[in-house]
Amino acid sequence: MSIAGGAVVLFSGGQDSTTCLGWALERYDRVETIGFDYGQRHRIEMECRLDVLDSIRARFSRWAAKLGEDVVVPVEAIGTLSNTALTRDVEMKMGADGLPNTFVPGRNLIFLSFAAAYAYRRELKHIVTGVCETDYSGYPDCRDDTIKAMQVALNLGLERRFVLETPLMWIDKAQTFVMARELGGEDFLTLVIEETHSCYAGDRTVKFDWGWGCGACPACKLRAEGWHRFVAEGL
């Protein structure tokens, strides 16, 4: 039984947002996707996200019927305004404030605002994002409180009753692999491993058992650790 009202998924082509897309396709009668081009150094994710959408349409017939439009929003201003390791050629490291310099200030707040504007036009009720407080690299805009506050702000500011959904908020990367398998079986888990992109360095030259990446950046480390726990604990 699908939930009416439809959903837009913030979809980057990574492990988390791809799992969220499967989660939404299991639940809602209509699912659309939105991506953001903000001058990220790992621009290869913009190609991967299209490959993931193509694969879902080709290999998951019960989901393909619900999967609707995809839109990419240019938000290069984020890269212009911020000085982070995701948008500039600087080394990834921890800042004095305890935040890694891969944090892009305002990124998720801006993404959610654009997603709500899109949902407003497309008359979609649910806005699904893969933010996570469990292993969230300390990004304050991934916190549950931030998302709840955004839901209030967006509903007041747009005069709607959007529901911001965060299916990964309280689970870790190992459990995200479990969720992918529960949603779409081994075939979807394989899709997540082989076709999604997480690596901040944009590296897809080396294939690990958890997917493609450089194996050294924070995003690769997080994904690798999650996979190894998934395997070691027989999840």
**What CA–CA distance (Å, rounded) separates 98 from 195?**
32
92 lies in the binding site for Zn ion (CB under 5 A): no
220 lies in the binding site for Zn ion (CB under 5 A): yes
* Interaction residues for Zn ion, span 171-210 (CB under 5 A): 199, 201
44 lies in the binding site for Zn ion (CB under 5 A): no
214 lies in the binding site for Zn ion (CB under 5 A): yes
Sole residue written with tokens 């398998």: 181
Residue among 60 and 200 whose Cβ is closer to Zn ion: 200
Q: What is the CA radius of gyration of the chain?
A: 17
217 lies in the binding site for Zn ion (CB under 5 A): yes
Residue among 28 and 177 whose Cβ is closer to Zn ion: 177
Residue among 33 and 87 whose Cβ is closer to Zn ion: 87
**What CA–CA distance (Å, rounded) separates 113 from 123?**
15
Residue among 115 and 199 whose Cβ is closer to Zn ion: 199
Backbone angles phi, psi at 208, to 5 degrees: -100, 175
213 lies in the binding site for Zn ion (CB under 5 A): yes
Q: CA torsion angle for 133, 135, 138, 140 (degrees, to 10)? A: -20
The least CB distance from residue 74 to Zn ion, in Å, is 24
Look at the chain and count its residues: 235
The least CB distance from residue 198 to Zn ion, in Å, is 7
**Of 4, 5, 28, nearest in space to 167 by CA:** 28
Residue type, 199: C
Residue among 24 and 217 whose Cβ is closer to Zn ion: 217
Binding site for Zn ion (CB under 5 A): 199, 201, 213-214, 217, 220
